[in-house]
A and B are shown apart, each in its own frame.
Chain A
């Protein structure tokens, strides 16, 4: 990728079957992670405690991004909520495996699968 092909981070969110789905596209690193953290904090502050973070269009994730996701998980769990991830990309899954965080997050192949799994627990 050329330096000028500048991809940062695009964030969106919508409600699906009563669960807030956060769509993340681009790179989550030390520069962009604060924006994701702010969004997660904002959603929790607005009483959204069931979150699914769709990472299928994430191109890069480092430990700063992991820290933000763990922080979001702590926040929703304080309200008996959940934060699940959607990711099938090996390059992204690898960092979850290296850090042992595959045991901490529910990681699913599709948003529908993540929502179905969460609703089955209700």
Chain B
């Protein structure tokens, strides 16, 4: 069972709340201060991506964030309910291309809509992979699950 579980309606304003809760639980779980910024940013990226996907595909469905203290690990799972196979990029936009850095990051090509959503959805996952100590992204029956974890000292 998660230490703390949060569900929120897919509105951008709630992403900040999810970040703050995640940071508070991470601190309580013994994540060091040096890593808290990474937790905050990674959770924010995962929630922002989920919000964008929900607003596009299922705006009535909530987004779930599970925060779990596992002793020496702190784990966050952000689960969306956007349909499997739903694109991270706006419909009608050209296919994503590899970023110049060649790091596997994908961004919409030149000419794609400049909406922040188009830039950030797939980009956010790449940022998460650069922030979290461990990341697993998997399809679920309902949507996509982004599982992230960091080392922690058990203090609970």
A interface residues with partner B (beta carbon < 8 Å): 1, 3, 27, 29-31, 33-34, 37, 60, 62-64, 66-68, 70-71, 74, 91, 94-95, 98-100
Stretch at the interface among B56-64, B125-133, B137-145, B147-155: B125-133
A–B pairs, 10, beta carbons within 8 Å = A3-B20, A29-B16, A30-B15, A62-B41, A64-B124, A66-B123, A70-B119, A74-B114, A99-B101, A99-B126
A1-B120 in contact (CB<8A) = no
User: By CB atoms of chain B within 10 A, which of A1, A68, A94, A99 has the most?
Assistant: A99
| Residue B99 lies at the interface, judged by CB distance under 8 Å to chain A | yes
Known contacts A33-B116, A60-B40, A64-B120; is-contact A100 B127 (Cβ 8 Å): no
In contact, B119 and A66 (Cβ under 8 angstroms): yes
Bound together, the chains give a CA A68 to CA B48 distance in angstroms of 15
Residue of A nearest to B47 (CB): A30
Interface of A is mostly: helix
Contact between chains at B17 and A99 (CB < 8 Å): no
Q: Determine which of A67, A68, A94, A100 lies in contact with B101 in the assembled complex, contact meaning CB atoms within 8 Å.
A: A100
The verdict on B25 contacting chain A, using a C-beta distance below 8 Å, is no
CB contacts (< 8 Å) of B16 on chain A: these are: 27, 29, 31
Number of interface residues of B (CB under 8 A): 32
Q: Are A60 and B119 in contact (CB under 8 A)?
A: no
**Interface members, chain B 56-93 (any A CB < 8 Å):** none
Min CB distance A78 to B, Å, is 12
The reply to whether A91 and B37 form a contact with Cβ atoms under 8 Å apart is: yes
From the candidates B41, B48, B51, B119, name the one contacting A95 in the complex (CB within 8 A). B41
Q: Which of A62, A74, A98 contacts B120 (CB 8 A)?
A: A62
Q: Contact mask B12-24 → A, CB, 8 Å, 1/0? A: 1101110110000
By a CB distance below 8 angstroms, the chain B residues around A30 are 12, 15, 44, 48, 51-52, 116, 120
Taken together as a complex, chains A and B put the C-alpha atoms of A100 and B116 apart, in Å, by: 18
- Contact between chains at B103 and A67 (CB < 8 Å): no
Measured between beta carbons, the chain B residues less than 8 angstroms from A91 are 37
